[in-house]
Amino acid sequence: MKTLNIVTLVLVIVGGINWGLVGIAQFDLVAAIFGGQDAMLARLVYVLVGLSALWQILPLVSPGMAGEPRPAPRR
């Protein structure tokens, strides 16, 4: 589970950097690397980044999912 969280976090960071470049310089790095926005590999990266963002929402809505210790139950 920790590996999946790291991989998805890296993909979300890549997506954020890509969107920053699009906003600042109108340059889509993913499209430039993989042959255009319509290229199959570029579309795959876009989908993986989107799914990674959804996966990274889970720790926000579920306490303890991010590897944080849970409080001990009261007796």
What mean pLDDT comes out for the span 33-58? 95
For the cut 80, the answer to whether the pLDDT of residue 13 exceeds it is yes
Average pLDDT over residues 61-67: 66
3-state per-residue secondary structure call for the chain:
CHHHHHHHHHHHHHHHHHHHHHHHHCCCHHHHHHCCCCCHHHHHHHHHHHHHHHHHHHHHHCCCCCCCCCCCCCC
Mean predicted lDDT score pLDDT of the chain: 89
High-pLDDT (> 70) share of the chain, %? 87
Mean pLDDT value across residues 60-66: 69
| Cα 66 to Cα 9: distance, rounded to the nearest angstrom | 12
